[in-house]
Amino acid sequence: MATYILIHGAYQGGWIWSPVASRLREQGHDVHAASLDGCAERSAQVRPGITTETQAEELVELLRYEDLDDVILVGTSSGGMVLARVAELARERVRRIVFVDALALLRGETIRDIVSGAVIDATEVATGPRPGAMLEALSASMEADLAQWAAVRFGQHPAAVFNRPVELDSFWEQSWDASVIWCRQAPNPGHAHQQRCAEKLNARWHELDTGHYPMLSMPDELTRLILEG
């Protein structure tokens, strides 16, 4: 049995990992897929000061209080940034890391340096996608009913995650047992960005012919790749 920490991306919550989490649990694994601070069912808690780093620190505390060791961190989209910070802060507890169509920024970079896209309902503390954008994006790679189910669950995300430069002290200088999974149909974060991550980490490379949300559109295939490493 392995312990998996599944880290969601922007506008999402732990809910997005449900298909993969259930498959991992069916095979006897311990799975944690928490919603990050200020996201999904925790959106009422959104406030100034929530950053990639504070979200990562919260997960580090989860590892400590739950006595979780030898864990496998899996991050998608902006969750890749959280993954990297958790990994360097809790190095002794991490066995393996998996980037799933994820952002893997270098120290000092921001999401805006890599990804551009229109948002509305932006405030000083949170931002979200334009109306209809999520349903349109999801419908391109999954059945209509599933796309509709997921689209209504997307919400806003703490704004500082997008605007503040990433703080990583030692992640890229360390050696990791790592995998990178690129989704061919996803325009962002894109092939070049994820190839850079794979090269810097000497990571195993996998591809899925789907959009940016393979945990919904291809849960069986994604679960297999996560298990294989």
pLDDT in tens, 163-184: 899 999 999 999 999 999 999 9
* Structural tokens at position 164: 């503040």
What per-residue confidence (pLDDT) applies to 229? 83
pLDDT at 131 over 80: no
What per-residue confidence (pLDDT) applies to 121? 67
What per-residue confidence (pLDDT) applies to 130? 82
Taking the C-alpha atoms of residue 70 and residue 96, their distance in angstroms, rounded to an integer, is 8
In percent, the amount of the chain with pLDDT more than 90 equals 89
Per residue in 52-71, pLDDT tens? 999 999 999 999 999 999 99
What per-residue confidence (pLDDT) applies to 175? 97
* Torsion angles phi and psi, residue 47, rounded to 5: -165, 165
Question: Which domains does the chain carry?
Answer: 3-228 (3.40.50.1820)
CB 75 within 8 A of CB 102: yes
What per-residue confidence (pLDDT) applies to 120? 67
What per-residue confidence (pLDDT) applies to 119? 64
Question: E-strand spans in 81-199?
Answer: 94-102, 119-120, 126-129, 157-158, 178-183
Nearest residue to 78 via CA among 100, 108, 48: 100
What per-residue confidence (pLDDT) applies to 172? 98
pLDDT at 47 over 90: yes
* Structural tokens at position 36: 């990050």
Point out the least confidently predicted range of 6-20, 107-121, 172-186, 209-223: 107-121
Per residue in 64-92, pLDDT tens? 999 999 999 999 999 999 999 999 999 99
Q: What is the dihedral of CA 189, 190, 196, 199, to 10 degrees?
A: 120
pLDDT at 118 over 90: no
Q: pLDDT class for 160, splitting at 50, 70, 90?
A: very high
Q: pLDDT class for 124, splitting at 50, 70, 90?
A: confident
Q: Tell me the average pLDDT across 131-157.
A: 93
Tell me the residue type at 116: S
Write down the mean pLDDT value for the chain.
95
What per-residue confidence (pLDDT) applies to 182? 98
